[in-house]
Amino acid sequence: MAYKISNDCLACGTCQGECPTGAISEGDIYKIDPNVCIDCGTCADACPAGAISPAE
C-alpha cells in the first residue's frame, strides 16, 4: 500500500528529500507515485504538516 499526500501539504519539499526511491514529485501539493513507493513511511515521518498517510 503506497502513501498519499493530503491537501494539508505545505509543498515544503521535506518529504521529497527523504524518499529513498524518488517516488515524490513536486507541485502545488506534492504527489507520490504508487508504482515507485515502497511503503517505508519515511516521508510521513518527515512531514512537518502531518499531510502524509497510508493510502486506503
CA–CA distance from 12 to each of 1, 26, 41, 44, 47 (Å)? 24, 9, 17, 13, 9
Question: CATH number of the domain that 12 lies in?
Answer: 3.30.70.20
Q: Which domain holds residue 19?
A: 3-54
pTM of the model: 0.89
Q: What's the structural domain count of the chain?
A: 1
pLDDT of 52 over the 80 cut:
yes
Q: In percent, how much of the chain has pLDDT > 70? A: 100
CA–CA distance from 23 to each of 7, 37, 48 (Å)? 18, 5, 18
